[in-house]
């Protein structure tokens, strides 16, 4: 008769046996991206909040982030009671400009939060060098860039901590997100912040964190449900093949649209793999003499599913209202998120609340007036070269008839 484990015998169930679903997908994702740790979240935003918390970002800290992005990139900073400091973008890649990042660093800066917008990686090697020089963390928002690479290495393995989203993204599931890191302390701190206490026992190995394992830090449960994990696991097996098919379609579009004066197709930095969550072009309104929105309206009338992304127009009160870059929006102009000025007036932040001045980010404010995008489904398989030719024909048709659109 086997001896009881309680009395020194072997366990009936091996300690290393993974929990079905949750652990297997997290481990598979980490292996695919070439990182040590992956922590699942209920969505990309929840994973980004955990990433910031894991990096030690908190009250009074400043985090440098682009204004040319989805609202949650900066909103996650507010959720950990830190303060977004907006920096300008590279007008070619639409990602953070490392030179402007340098100008925004203060003695209160805790982290840099680059966004791999549209699926093109930010300049992570340059930003990591800046971070090292100033003792900062790089918390990367790769929500739109699962499978993107820099010099052959996957995004998610190059920064201190990275977040991905699975909601309608290159790796799509019904919901969910993930945080990746090679730093055990970041991983465990993030677990304490966003993992249900029942799953913490045995997972926390760093002595200073063990006292929190009974209930975690907040009781939040930033977890991904098992069905979403199962679906994401299957999507992971074909991620690179699907990305490569989309890239082939995008390359064809770029080859054709490069011949059209007044339309600038996406730029891809040498050594970078762009996975095209959006295929984003720039429109030269000065050349055509027709507003960008009128041009987009004409494309839509021809059946092309296209429009601005960051400046996405919302139909309100019978007219389109443009959102503008983040620093133009009400919460940053009014400094009002939680009431009473918090977190902008946090007593741990020296020098008073930040000033989010309109006109302070010239590249951002110029590009947002020019961009228009085809979305991921429109350029992904099973759409093929035939559909891409139709898209080009539509754009050519509208340009050939541009005189008819002038007032």
Would you state the pLDDT for residue 407? Answer: 75
What is the spatial distance between Cα 317 and Cα 320, in angstroms, rounded to a whole number?
8
In this predicted structure, what is the pLDDT of residue 196? 64
Please report which confidence band the pLDDT of residue 22 belongs to, taking 50, 70 and 90 as the band edges: very low
Alpha-carbon gap, residue 251 to 392, rounded angstroms: 12
Q: Tens digits of per-residue pLDDT, 66-76?
A: 999 999 999 99
Q: Can you tell me the distance from the alpha carbon of 180 to that of 50, in angstroms, rounded to the nearest whole number?
A: 10
> Nearest to residue 142, comparing CAs of 226, 33, 249?
33
Q: Of 40-44, 139-143, 212-216, 309-313, give the range with the top mean pLDDT.
A: 139-143
Residue 209: DSSP 8-state: G
The total number of residues written for the chain in this structure = 407
pLDDT on residue 17: 56
Mean pLDDT across the chain: 92
260, pLDDT greater than 50: yes
400 φ, ψ to 5°? -65, -25
pLDDT digits (tens, 9 = 90+) for 23-64: 489 999 999 999 999 999 999 999 999 999 999 999 999 999
| Dist CA 395 CA 405 (whole Å) | 14
- Give this prediction's pTM: 0.91
Per-residue pLDDT band at 77 (split at 50, 70, 90): very high
Confidence grade of residue 336 (pLDDT, cut at 50, 70, 90): confident
Q: Where are the alpha helices (DSSP H) in 258-329?
A: 285-288, 292-301
Select from 29, 273, 334 the least CA-distant residue to 151: 273
- Residue 320, pLDDT > 70, answer no
Q: Highest-confidence range of 195-199, 215-219, 366-370, by mean pLDDT?
A: 366-370
Rounded Cα gap, residues 138 and 161, in angstroms: 7
- What pLDDT digit, counting tens, does each position of 134-177 carry? 999 999 999 999 999 999 999 999 999 999 999 889 998 989 99
- Structural domains in the chain, CATH included, are 10-237 (3.40.640.10), 240-405 (3.90.1150.10)
Kindly report the CA angle at 35 between 130 and 49, in degrees rounded to 5? 65
Structure tokens at 299: 């494309």
CA dihedral 168, 116, 235, 33 (to 10 degrees): -160
């Amino acid at each position: 008769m086997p001896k009881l484990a309680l009395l020194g015998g072997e366990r009936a169930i091996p300690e290393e046996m993974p929990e079905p679903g949750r652990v297997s997908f997290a481990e598979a994702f980490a292996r695919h991206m070439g990182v040590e740790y992956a922590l699942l979240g209920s969505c990309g935003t929840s994973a980004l909040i955990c990433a910031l918390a894991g990096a030690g970002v908190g009250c009074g800290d400043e985090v440098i982030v682009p204004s040319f992005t989805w609202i949650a990139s900066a909103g996650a900073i507010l959720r950990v009671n830190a303060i977004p400091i907006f920096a300008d973008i590279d007008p070619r890649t639409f990602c953070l400009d490392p030179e402007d990042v340098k100008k925004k660093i203060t003695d209160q800066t805790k982290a840099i939060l680059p966004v791999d917008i549209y699926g093109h990686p930010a300049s992570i090697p340059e930003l990591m060098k800046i971070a090292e020089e100033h003792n900062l963390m790089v918390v990367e928002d790769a929500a739109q860039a699962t499978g993107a690479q820099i010099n052959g290495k996957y995004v998610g393995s190059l920064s201190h901590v990275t977040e991905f989203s699975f909601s309608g993204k290159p790796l799509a599931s019904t919901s969910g997100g993930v945080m990746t890191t090679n730093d055990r302390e970041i991983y465990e701190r993030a677990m304490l912040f966003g993992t249900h206490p029942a799953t913490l026992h045995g997972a926390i190995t760093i002595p200073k964190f063990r006292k929190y394992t009974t209930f975690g830090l907040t009781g939040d449960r930033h977890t991904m449900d098992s069905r979403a994990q199962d679906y994401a696991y299957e999507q992971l097996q074909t991620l690179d093949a699907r990305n490569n098919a989309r890239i082939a379609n995008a390359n064809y579009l770029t080859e054709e649209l490069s011949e059209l004066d007044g339309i600038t197709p996406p730029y891809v930095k040498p050594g970078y793999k762009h996975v095209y969550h959006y295929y984003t072009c720039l429109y030269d309104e000065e050349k055509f003499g027709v507003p960008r929105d009128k041009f987009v309206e004409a494309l839509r009338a021809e059946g092309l599913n296209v429009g601005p992304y960051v400046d996405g127009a919302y139909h309100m009160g019978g007219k389109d209202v443009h959102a503008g870059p983040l620093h133009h929006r009400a919460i940053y102009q009014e400094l009002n998120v939680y009431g009473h000025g918090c977190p902008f007036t946090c007593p741990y932040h020296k020098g008073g609340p930040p000033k989010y001045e309109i006109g302070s980010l010239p590249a951002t404010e110029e590009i947002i007036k020019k961009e228009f995008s085809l979305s991921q489904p429109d350029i992904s398989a099973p759409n093929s070269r035939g559909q891409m030719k139709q898209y080009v024909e539509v754009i050519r048709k509208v340009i050939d008839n541009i005189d008819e659109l002038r007032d």
